[in-house]
Amino acid sequence: MNTLKTIYDKIGKTELAKHEVELALIQELEKEYNTLSNGVKKMVSERKRILQEIQKYRETLVDHQNFLKLKQQYEEMSKELGVPFNDKYSKILVEYRDARIDYGNLLGVM
């Protein structure tokens, strides 16, 4: 009888240990689910703002093209009139290039 009781006690402890492991796995799964859920909610809430930023980036690309055309016309007119060309506009082109690289890397475009 004692042997039978010992066997049942060991089986009970083994089963309890299995249930504790299963419970720990369920708790870990629930924790990961909550982390993922919060991340998805944040992504959804930020989506509109991110799309607006991407649109601003695209508009800047168009502005850059317009700027280059006007700068080229200004350079040509300066040469024709013999007026020294004011190259203060080159700095913005360097800043634009750096910003475009940063945005491109961020968006995976470049």
Overall average pLDDT of the 52-70 stretch: 82
Name the residue range of residue 41's domain: 2-107
Chain centroid to CA 50: how far? 9
CA dihedral 80, 81, 84, 87 (to 10 degrees): -60
What pLDDT sits at residue 61?
78
Q: What is the pTM of this model?
A: 0.40
pLDDT of 32 higher than 90: yes
Separation between Cα atoms, residue 35 and residue 15, nearest integer Å: 30
> Between 22 and 31, whose confidence is greater?
31
Q: How many structural domains comprise the chain?
A: 1
